[in-house]
């Protein structure tokens, strides 16, 4: 889902999708999950489907998690040469050659964040590729010491509103999805188009009904295929996940 998708944020009004998280967090700073909850409500209203839980990883947490794993393997589809300015005003460089390579935490974060060289659509695909690479690397762990190191990094890097059972189900779903193959589907033109609001902000605007129908149709197809393979049990239900590093 594009972060600039124009949605109706409960209690706020029209705004970009990524603003829902920050609006919720600002409104209730003493409640660490408030941002997740407002984002979930926004998505449920916009997509007309249930959001079961949220997992949030910030930039620093992502970097620590990759380093705890000892790096991740990614296939870089084309050369990237970019410089971008971070939130603190620092300038970062991102230079990657095409081909399969192993990225440590800092390089993986730069690979995730760069977008000027190949636009936001490729950036979203990199987020999916990196998330899959993280899970694949975690599935290769055989050393108890390494497993403890990764679990410790994950505990400090991941914020969630899921309980222990929910986290285990999400982890099982991720592992199963990566083993079976991950399909990336984007809400993109012609479903949405870029327009400038009266306040001068660029947003992605589209028919709420058509976007909701598209997303629900793709999720429903996955659920029906999953149920056709084996009797429906809680642990066999398809896991739908929205990735993003914003």
Give pLDDT, residue 93: 87
Give pLDDT, residue 173: 81
pLDDT(245) > 50: no
Q: Average pLDDT for residues 118-144, to the nearest whole number?
A: 85
Q: How far is C-alpha 30 from the chain's CA centre?
A: 25
140-179 pLDDT tens trace: 999 999 899 998 998 888 888 888 888 888 888 888 888 8
pLDDT(127) > 90: no
194-210 pLDDT tens trace: 999 888 989 999 999 99
Compute the chain's Rg from CA coordinates.
Answer: 19
Among residues 70, 67, 15, 75, the alpha carbon closest in space to that of 39 is found at: 15
Beta bridge partners of 94: 82
Res. 193 pLDDT band, cuts 50 70 90: very high
Give pLDDT, residue 221: 55
Q: Average pLDDT for residues 14-39, to the nearest whole number?
A: 88
CATH fold for the domain made of 57-160 = Aminopeptidase (3.40.630)
pLDDT(124) > 50: yes
31: preceding bond cis by omega (within 30 degrees): no
Give pLDDT, residue 72: 97
Give pLDDT, residue 186: 83
Give pLDDT, residue 168: 82
How would you write the chain as a 3-class SS string? CCCCEEEEECCCEEEEHHHHHHHHHHHCCCCCCHHHHHHHHHHHHHHCCCCCCCEEECHHHHHHHHHHHCCEEEEECCCEEEEEECCCCCEEEEEECCEEEEECHHHHHHHHHCCCCCHHHHHHHHHHHHHHHHHHHHHCCCCHHHHHHHHHHHHHHEEECCCHHHHHHHHHHHHHHHHHCCCCCCCCCCCEEEEECCCCCEEEEECHHHHHHHHHHHHHHHHHHHHHHCCCCHHHCCCCCCCCCC
- Token duo for residue 115: 């977008």
CA 244/CA 59 separation, integer angstroms: 11
Domain ranges of the chain: 6-54+188-236, 57-160
Q: Average pLDDT for residues 21-48, to the nearest whole number?
A: 88
Give pLDDT, residue 232: 40
Residues 6+ apart with CB under 8 A from 102: 71, 72, 73
44-76 pLDDT tens trace: 999 888 888 888 888 899 999 999 999 999 999
| Other Cβ atoms closer than 10 A to 156 | 12
Q: Average pLDDT for residues 134-143, to the nearest whole number?
A: 91
């Amino acid at each position: 889902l594009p972060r600039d998708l124009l949605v109706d944020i409960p209690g706020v009004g029209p705004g970009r999708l990524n603003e829902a998280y920050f609006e919720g967090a600002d409104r209730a700073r003493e409640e660490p999950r408030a941002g997740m909850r407002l984002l979930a409500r926004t998505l449920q209203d916009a997509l007309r489907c249930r959001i079961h839980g949220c997992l949030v990883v910030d930039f620093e947490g992502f970097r620590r998690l990759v380093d705890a794993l000892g790096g991740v393997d990614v296939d870089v589809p084309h050369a990237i040469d970019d410089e971008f300015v971070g939130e603190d005003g620092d300038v970062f460089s991102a230079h990657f050659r095409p081909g399969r390579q192993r990225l440590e935490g800092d390089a993986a974060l730069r690979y995730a964040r760069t977008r000027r060289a190949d636009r936001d659509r490729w950036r979203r695909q990199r987020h999916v590729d990196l998330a899959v690479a993280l899970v694949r690397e975690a599935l290769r762990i055989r050393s108890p010491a390494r497993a403890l190191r990764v679990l410790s990094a994950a505990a400090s890097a991941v914020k969630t509103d899921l309980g222990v059972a929910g986290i285990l189900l999400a982890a099982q779903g991720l592992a199963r999805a990566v083993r079976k193959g991950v399909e990336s589907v984007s809400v993109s033109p012609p479903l949405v188009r870029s327009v400038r609001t009266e306040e001068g902000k660029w947003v992605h605007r589209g028919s709420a009904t058509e976007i909701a129908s598209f997303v629900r149709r793709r999720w429903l197809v996955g659920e029906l295929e999953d149920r056709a393979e084996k009797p429906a049990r809680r642990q066999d239900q398809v896991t739908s996940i929205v990735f993003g590093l914003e």
